[in-house]
Chain A
Amino acid sequence: MTEGIERITTAALSLALDASAMRQQAIAANIANADVPGYQPVTVDFESQLDTAQRALYEGGRLDMNMLADVSPRLVNEVQLQPADLAPHVTLDMQMAQLAQNGVQYQALTTALNKQFALMSLAVNDGKR
């Protein structure tokens, strides 16, 4: 219904929220498995997929919906471990720092989405609050 209005902003923010939510789960899994021998820490690959979209934005000044078509957050191993490597590879302090950072990132994204919807609400209410 409202997809015509600033559709790209909503789509990009939704994708980023998905990535942030998945990153929260990845960090939770890393913390939960911190004491498990042979556990491979995981991380989320998302920002690196936005390179082409960012370049297009800088060069063309606008973002095309097709740029985000094949962007999706993916869970990847943080380091490649040898099968016999049983030493713990999760650093709890790094994970806690990432947890805090990701939490702030998520809240920033929800705030941005709220502002976007508030703009839309302003438009449909004819400028009246």
Chain B
Amino acid sequence: MDYSRAFAISAAGMTLERTRVEVAAMNLANANTVQGIDGVSYQPMRVVATAGSLAQPQDFSEALGREADGAAGIGLPFAVPQVSVQPNSAAPRRVYEPGNPYADAKGYVNYAGVDNAAEMVTMMSAMRSYEANIAAMNMSKTLAVKALQIGSSS
């Protein structure tokens, strides 16, 4: 069994989920930052995942394995998620605080447009998916060990 590919797939899935948790945490941490006078403010981020193929072969054995797959014809290539973090074009949250030094002429302060509930939901679902990826990877490891024990005196 090709361990490295099974592990690479699960690792890519875990990278995606960890990025989602990190971005959600970053958004929540900056949820109450005030937009400065110069207009530079925190822009909430979102994780965009697209399905891509496994990365270019890193070494000889991987390239060889790919050639072998091509010869045997496994059907489809395995897809792994590709992660990118992009700014979320959410409008700033405007709060009426006339005494705030960052208030504009009408007394409104622009806070970062972070949706707290949505971020919490993202974090929960990312955590569950991360656990599922770990379970898949543990199973791959168990199977690899079982394969190594074939033929040993039982």
Contacts and interface: CB of A to CB of B under 8 A. Distances in A.
A39 B77 CA distance: 13
A21 B1 contact: yes
Interface in A4-40: 17, 20-22, 24-29, 31-40
B13 A117 contact: no
Chain B interface extent, by class: 35 or more
Contact of A32 (B2, B73, B133, B143): B133
Contacts of B154: 114, 118
B78 A29 contact: yes
Interface in B1-56: 1-2, 5-6, 9-10, 12-14, 16-17, 20, 49-51
A76 B139 contact: no
A55 interface: no
Nearest to A25: B6
B129 A34 contact: yes
Interface string B68-96: 00001111101111000000000000000
Size category of the A interface is 35 or more
A29 B129 contact: no
B16 A32 contact: yes
Majority secondary structure of chain B interface residues (helix, strand, loop or mixed)? helix
Interface in A57-78: 72-77
Given A32-B12, A76-B76, A92-B129, A110 B147 contact: yes
Q: Is the interface of A mostly helix, strand, loop or mixed?
A: helix
29 contacts: A21-B2, A24-B136, A25-B2, A28-B6, A28-B9, A28-B136, A29-B79, A31-B133, A32-B16, A32-B81, A32-B133, A34-B132, A35-B125, A35-B129, A36-B49, A36-B51, A38-B51, A39-B51, A45-B75, A75-B74, A75-B76, A75-B78, A96-B132, A106-B146, A107-B142, A110-B146, A110-B150, A113-B151, A114-B152
Given A72-B72, A118-B154, 20 more contacts: A20-B143, A21-B1, A25-B5, A28-B136, A29-B9, A31-B10, A32-B14, A32-B81, A33-B81, A39-B79, A73-B74, A76-B75, A92-B128, A106-B143, A106-B146, A107-B142, A110-B146, A110-B150, A114-B150, A118-B153
Interface of B: 1-2, 5-6, 9-10, 12-14, 16-17, 20, 49-51, 72-76, 78-81, 125-126, 128-129, 132-133, 135-137, 139-140, 142-143, 146-147, 149-154
